[in-house]
Every structure is written in structure tokens, then in C-alpha cells.
Structure 1
Amino acid sequence: MDESNITPNTSNQQLVLNGDNESATALLEKQSRRRDNLRDVTFLEYMTVGILCFVNLINYMDRFTLAGVLGDVKNEFAIGDDMAGLLQTVFVVAYMVFAPIFGYLGDRHSRRAIMAFGVALWSITTFLGSFIKHFAWFAVFRGLVGVGEASYSTIAPTIISDLFVGNVRTKMLALFYFAIPVGSGMGYIVGSLAGAAAGNWRWGLRVTPFLGSVAVALILWVMEDPERGQAEESQIKPTSYGDDLRSLVRNRSFMMSTLAFTCVAFVTGALAWWGPQYIFLGLTLQPDVDITIESVSYKFGLVGMFAGALGVPLGAALAQRLRPRWQDSDPLVCGFALLASSPLVYLGLITVDAHVALTYVLIFLGMVTLNLTWSIVADIVLYVVIPPRRSTAEAFQILISHMFGDAGSPYLVGVISESLKRSLSTNPSEQPSQFVQFRSLQYALFVTCFVEVIGGVFFLLTAMYIVKDKQKVDRAIAEADGQSREPTHRAAHEAPASED
């Protein structure tokens, strides 16, 4: 079923018969008014959002714990930058390949059961993987972690979309995506501190599995799993998977924003994986500096946490403030944020070997502007796609953004770095110097600045179509609701009068 081909049957849909998309939107908002008011949010709904945020937090803690101890991992397995980057690539490839499967299931089956299975899977495989001594098998278990995380990340935002609409949905999504940078930062911190305290980096991987067991219990026995489209009172029924995919490909706002978010994922993946290692190499070039990779990872994690704590809610607040004036403000905010982040990241990369404090400030500002996009992009996907198609849309976006984004960016940066080491070394047969290692990784990371500009352009292109695509969804929901009311409406008029 396409959003544009539902035939209206009732007087409520006369608005749509006249082609008035804005009136259809107004009708939908009137029907869903209760879900657009924070005062009417129930305790169970707050608990559900809290559980989703908690799981998202430990999800990203688990994902970046390894990055916090990457130097120790490289030393134990005796691998270079390319194989170190491959560890993250294996994880993301498994994550993106299984996302469409969970997206299909999430639109049709129990989301509670699917999410509980996924969290249990990545918790168990993370814990078991921490004992593996062989690099190839360790990489396999990192891939299994990605399978488990795909089930959760694909489905969780759609539960929020089915509980709330309008500004309340934006606020709840901002809270949900607030957990991503905070969890990522905590991953660096937990990995480095736990590894340093135990004298073994593997203990950093054994923290989140215990939290994951708590999350499984909360999902199964506390979290609410609403009907699909509940907040919007949507009566639209699921369609075939082929129809879903064809509709998404024709949805220009969805496709453009997905390509833009792919650039965000590319940059985030590369910087998150290589950031601590790069800063550590830069600091070792300065005289009389006694520094460890664990301390750098700790500081980098703090910077990431604070940048996310500011950037994600700031993006949501800007979106809420600007929407009443400009209906296409969401992609515009994201586009200009990426265009502003690019020079900040570049300056942060070139100052690390000379001005440490300035480097952290520039990286912080670059991350803040990058984080502005997270909750806004999620909101865009949810309001330009009809309710029974949203898990599939989330999965499709995960597949594309990770396939061409952070699935390859850590490995690509590592490969470029290794290639540059050979060209920059005076004697390629010898171990490259600290300066050569630093400079080669710096040049490799410059690619992120160009990708951010490309992402900004895609967001600006999204603004050209987003208003019309949102109105199509509002119209489809209003039409389907009217069609479902028609039999009752007709029966009420045709029923014989009761006899006294």
C-alpha cells in the first residue's frame, strides 16, 4: 500500500478529496492531541522510554569499550591499523546485514520478544568473546555482537513513535539518542578504567553483559509494547515487504536523509574508532610527556559524553523552535550543522601535536555540531514513513548508512594509514617512527572532513522534498482512519429506530 493511493470514503476525508494536505495534517493532529502533551504521558510510558534509553546506553558502551583499549588489543594480537579497523568493520557488517531481517520482523511480530532476544545475544557473545585468544575467532564474536545489537537499534525508535507524536515525540527521541554519545563516551571510560584496574584489557568487555541481563528482564516484564500507529490512531495495515521497499525507494526525503546520515555514520565511525589512538600518537611527539592510551581514552570519552549531552538536546530544541516558522527546518539544521563541523574537525586534527587543550576544544565543538543531527534524523524517518513501515525504514536506513558509512570507514582509514606509512618511511622495511605513524593517520583522517561536506549537501537537498512527503503520510493516516470509521458511521444511519 502506497501513501498516495488510499481512496477516502467519509466526510472526514473530503479535505483530502480537495487535495488539501495541510487540512489532513490538522485533522491528524486533532485526533492525536493527547499524545502531544507531556502532562498526559503515563508513568508506564515514561518507564518504557527510560528502559529504551538504558538499553541504548549500554548498547553503545559495549560498542566502544574495545576502542578505549585499542592499543592493548593491537599489542596482544600483534596486528596493524588495518586489522584493528577490521574489528569494527566486522561488527558493523553483521549489524547492517541483519538489520533488514529484524526490521521485517519488527513490523509484524512482537517487538518485546525480538528486542529481548537481541540484547541477550549481544550480552552473551560479548562476555564469551572476552575470553577468546585467537584473533580470527575474536573477530567472529564481534560480528555476533553486531547481530544482537541490530535487533534492538532497528525496533526501539518505532516504539517511541507509536507512543507519542509532535514535540513530545521529538523530546523523547532526543532523550533516546542522548544515550548514544553518552554511552559511547562511557564505553571509552569503562574500557580504559576496568582494563587498567584489572591489568587486563579484557575485563573492560565484561561490564556491559551484566547490565544487559538487567535490560532483558526490564524489556520482558516492564516495558510497554504499543500497537503500531497507536499515537496517531493509525488504521493502516502492513503491506508486503516488496511494497514497503518500493515505497521507501520512491520516498525522496527518506532516501536523501539516509544518504546524508550515511555521511554522519562514516565520520562518527572513523573518529570514534581512531580518535584516542590518534591523539595519543600526537601527544607522544611532544617533549617530556608521560601519557598512556588509557588516560587519553578516558579524556576522549569525557569529551564525547559532554558533546553528546549538549549536541543531541540542542538539535531537538532547535528543531522544535524552528518548525513553526519553517516546515523544512529539520534537514536545514542538520545540513548547516555538518557544514560547520567539517572545519572544526579539520582544525582539531592539525593542532593535536602542538596545542593539546585547543585540540580537545575543537574536537568537542566538532562533535557537538555532528550530534545535532542524531535525534532530528530519527524524527524525519518517523514522520515521512507510515506507521506499519517504520521498522523496515529504520532497518533500511541502518543497512545503507552502515554499509557505506561506519562499516568501512575504520577499515578504510586504517588501510590508508598503513599505505601512507610505507610511502612516508625512509626505510619501508623498518618499523615506522612515531612521527610517521602520527602523520599517516592524520592524513587518513582528513577524509572525514570531505565526507561531512557531502553529507551537508544531501541534507540541504532533503529540505526540497520533506514538506510534501510528510503531508502524504498525514493524509494517508487520516484517510485510513476515515475508512475504518465508515462502516460504523453507515450502520448508525441505517439502523432502524427503536420502538417505545
Structure 2
Amino acid sequence: MPDRFSRSQKTLLTVLFFINFFNYLDRQVIFPLFHNIQLSFHVDDFQLGLLGSVFMLVHSLTSLPFGLLADRFDRRKIIAVGVGIWSIATLVSGLAQSFKVLLGIRSVVGLGEAAYAPAATAMISDNFPAHRRATVQGIFNIGMFLGGTIGAMVGGLIAYYYHDWRLAFLLVGIPGIVLAIWATRLQDQRTNLPESKLSLASLRHNWPFIWVLIGSVLVTFAGGGFVTWGVEFIRRYEGYNLRDSALILGLVFMAAGILGVYFGSLLADWLHTKSSSGRSFLVGWSLILAAPLVFAGLTFGQGFFVYFFFGTMLISFYHGPVTAIIHEVVPRHLWASAFALYLLVSHLLGDSLAPAVIGRISDQVNLRVALQFSTVLIFLSGLAFLTVGFLLRPGQDGNQDDPERHS
């Protein structure tokens, strides 16, 4: 973390980073447990996919109300409540005695996690200078990759060695309760602006934002499919057992994701100093280049992990800049609400559908074809972000009232 950030800035980013880490750890730990859950409850691939789809459906539908609240009330309290809800629900997931009960509990986890990202991303942009926005959002999102991949690895290891999927939920739910308390003590330098007549409805005329939503739906669907079914794909087609599938894919996702998020965010901020479209063009071209790499990895047995590593790294260029792009094209007083709308649309039409849709295609054809279909969406997502870049006006920034805070 850059030394010139103040102590309160470093503390804020560190705490939000670790909350994001456990956010995604609790979210992704379930997927390597699919085989064991399937044996316990005797369900098919489509029903397993519902565990991901129902979670994301609830998460997306409740993100917008939480975003509206975060633009009006204490963001720290909203974060604390959300973290507490999802952590307790994760613990309770390990006690489910039927598939329907587990499905219901996972929807509560989705409700809790919906409160977090809109408030957290707005806090970060509000407490750091605009020219470092993609970089700090990228650091925040490294927690997503670490948490998601370690969650998948932990789930796979517990399933392999203990054959008890319930234990995984009981272990990973505890730290979030401590972090919920910690979140209430953060210093949030919220900027109070004059009341604006612009509402969330005004974004329906904001074409750069609309194209961000379109691109995000496409790449989020593809990403949701890979995260949900990646371990199972390796187990079925690459000849690895469950333990090795979770470990290897987890390490690939973690290394490629961290490198992609970090260097993509730095490069995006540098390109933004050259052009207001720099961040959008970087995201667009990285996704276009990633699509054939991932397709090759899914299609050809040899070199799967090499193709997937570089494909994942390029896809991960998206994660830091996308928040910065949203905060460029919408007014400051709508930051949390606009980000919540982004979560609503991208998750509702993206990764809430992906697990079940990919599962259905897998049932009808096979899992390889189902995941190959997702690579087309990655390519189209890249085209959408290039469109955002072409639509941006020189110097456009939804935060032009922002002094270089704490720079």
C-alpha cells in the first residue's frame, strides 16, 4: 500500500480488504462441496446450480435498497449489519438437514453480502484521491480473489479429507463477526454535497453507464459459470480428484486474479492520465484477448492451466477499473446507488443465472460445451467496454467537485 496514504486511509482499506476477503470466502466455499452435497441430498446438476443462482438472485435484488441506504446513512453501520447477517447465516448453513433448508439459508447469506459492496466502494472512492481510484479499488478487489480462491481450496480440502461439507461452513463463518464490530470503528470522510435534483432514474439516459451494465452482465455470467463449475470441470475432464482440482484451480485463479487486478488497476490509472477513455479501453481489449485463451483451455486438454491462467489474468483487468469507471460517469451523490444498480443488473442477469443455466446445458449436452458458450460472452463484453470508451467525453468525471483528498 503506498506510503503516502494516511494512517486512517490504510486502516480503512485494510479492514475493507479483509471483509471482502471473507465475503468471497463465505460465498465460494460451497462450490467444491457440490459433489458431497449431491450425495447427501440426491439432487441433480440443475438443483446444485440453484445454490449459486438463488444466492445471487437475492443478492442482486437487495443490493439496490442497500445502496440507496448507503448514499443517505452511516455506511459503517450498514456494512456491520450486513457482515453480521452473512457470517451467522454461513455458520447456520452447516446445520441444514434438507436441500430446501440449505437453499433458504444461502439466500440469507446473499442478503447480508448485498449490504457490503455498494457502501464499501463508495467509502473507498470518497476517502482516496481520484487519480488513484482504480488502484485502491483494485487492492480492495484482490481480497475478492484471495477469499474466493482460498474458499474454494478450503472447501475442497475439507470435502476430500473429512468428507463432511458441514464443517466447512462452521469454520469460515466465525471471522466475519469480529470484522463486523471492527467496521463500526472506521473513519469515513464522507463528502457532503449540496442536495441534487438528479435521482437514480436519471441514469437511464446515461449511455456510458448503460454500456457498463451490458458489459458487466456478460462478463459476470461467464465468470459465474467458471467459478461455479470450474472445479467440477477439472474433475470430469482433466482427470484430477476433488482435492487436486480445488487446489490447482484455486492457485491458478488466485495467482492470475491478483496479478490481473493489481497490474490492471495500475495500468488503468496510468492510461486514465492520458485519456478519459483509458480505463474503458483497457478493460475492453483485455476481455477481447481473454476470450480465445479461455476457449482454447476448455477445448484442448494439453495446456489447460496455461491458457486458463493468462485468460483469467486478462479478465481480472476488469475488476479494479470498473468501479472507477462507474464513479467517473455518475454524480458523486449516486455512487453507492449506481454501484448497487450495477450489482443488481450484473448479478440478476449474470451470475445468478449462470450456475443453473450452465448446469442445464451440462445436463442436456455436456459441461465442456456449456463453459465454451461463456467465452463468447467474454468477447462481447469486451466490445461493450470499448463502446463505453468511445462514448466518454474528454475530461468526463462524475467527481469533478472532488478535491485531491488526502493526496
Q: TM range, normalised to the smaller chain?
A: over 0.9
Q: Does 1:459 align with 2:404?
A: no
Q: Does 1:147 align with 2:111?
A: yes
Q: Does 1:385 align with 2:349?
A: no
Identity of aligned residues (%): 27
Matched to 2:22, the amino acid is: I
**Partner in structure 1 of residue 405 of structure 2:** none
Aligned equivalents of 2:397, 2:155: Cα separation in 1: 46
Q: Does 1:167 align with 2:131?
A: yes
TM-score by length of 1: 0.78
CA contact (8 A) 2:276 2:396 kept: no
Per-residue deviation, residues 95-119 of structure 1 (Å, max 9, x unmatched): 0000011011001111111110100
Could you tell me which of 319, 325, 328 is aligned with 2:277?
328
CA contact (8 A) 2:28 2:148 kept: yes
Q: CA deviation at 1:180?
A: 1.3
CA contact (8 A) 1:192 1:204 kept: no
Aligned equivalents of 1:220, 1:194: Cα separation in 2: 33
Q: Does 1:105 align with 2:54?
A: no
Matched to 2:231, the amino acid is: P
Aligned equivalents of 1:320, 1:45: Cα separation in 2: 19
Per-residue deviation, residues 227-251 of structure 1 (Å, max 9, x unmatched): 2x3xxxx633255xxx422221111
Aligned equivalents of 1:334, 1:472: Cα separation in 2: 19
Change (3 A) 1:38 1:298: closer
**Partner in structure 2 of residue 442 of structure 1:** 368
Change (3 A) 1:471 1:390: closer
Could you tell me which of 176, 183, 194 is aligned with 1:219?
183
Matched to 1:399, the amino acid is: L
Alignment of 1:338-487 (within 5 A): 338-352=287-301, 355=302, 358-420=303-365, 440-467=366-393, 470-471=396-397, 473-474=399-400, 477=401
CA contact (8 A) 1:88 1:407 kept: yes
**Partner in structure 1 of residue 12 of structure 2:** 48
Aligned equivalents of 1:344, 1:404: Cα separation in 2: 24
CA RMSD of aligned residues (A): 1.8
Aligned equivalents of 1:302, 1:39: Cα separation in 2: 29
Residue 405 of structure 1 aligns to a residue whose secondary structure is: helix
Aligned residues: 403
Q: CA deviation at 1:415?
A: 0.8
Matched to 1:302, the amino acid is: L
Q: CA deviation at 1:383?
A: 1.9
Matched to 2:264, the amino acid is: G
Per-residue deviation, residues 141-161 of structure 1 (Å, max 9, x unmatched): 111000000000121000001
Could you tell me which of 153, 159, 162 is aligned with 1:189?
153
**Partner in structure 2 of residue 261 of structure 1:** 216
Could you tell me which of 255, 269, 272 is aligned with 1:306?
255
Aligned equivalents of 1:377, 1:133: Cα separation in 2: 40
Aligned equivalents of 2:41, 2:131: Cα separation in 1: 49
Matched to 1:129, the amino acid is: S
Residue 176 of structure 1 aligns to a residue whose secondary structure is: helix
Q: Which has the larger radius of gyration?
A: 1
Q: CA deviation at 1:471?
A: 4.5
Aligned equivalents of 2:7, 2:398: Cα separation in 1: 33
Q: CA deviation at 1:359?
A: 0.7
Q: CA deviation at 1:327?
A: 2.5
Name whichever of 253-262 and 193-202 sits farther off: 193-202
Structure 2's unaligned 5+ residue stretches are: 403-407
**Partner in structure 2 of residue 132 of structure 1:** 96
Alignment of 1:273-288 (within 5 A): 273-284=228-239
Aligned equivalents of 2:196, 2:247: Cα separation in 1: 46
Per-residue deviation, residues 252-283 of structure 1 (Å, max 9, x unmatched): 11111121111121111000000110111013
Change (3 A) 1:78 1:154: same
Change (3 A) 1:79 1:451: same
Structure 1's unaligned 5+ residue stretches are: 1-36, 285-290, 421-439, 479-500
Q: Does 1:235 align with 2:193?
A: yes
CA contact (8 A) 2:224 2:351 kept: yes
CA contact (8 A) 2:284 2:383 kept: yes
Q: CA deviation at 1:181?
A: 1.5
Aligned equivalents of 1:294, 1:147: Cα separation in 2: 30
Matched to 1:322, the amino acid is: L
Change (3 A) 1:255 1:212: same
Q: CA deviation at 1:195?
A: 3.3
Change (3 A) 1:320 1:464: same
Aligned equivalents of 1:235, 1:135: Cα separation in 2: 48
Matched to 1:311, the amino acid is: G
Q: CA deviation at 1:468?
A: 5.2
Q: CA deviation at 1:130?
A: 1.1
Could you tell me which of 83, 88, 91 is aligned with 2:55?
91
Aligned equivalents of 2:196, 2:95: Cα separation in 1: 43
Aligned equivalents of 1:459, 1:340: Cα separation in 2: 13
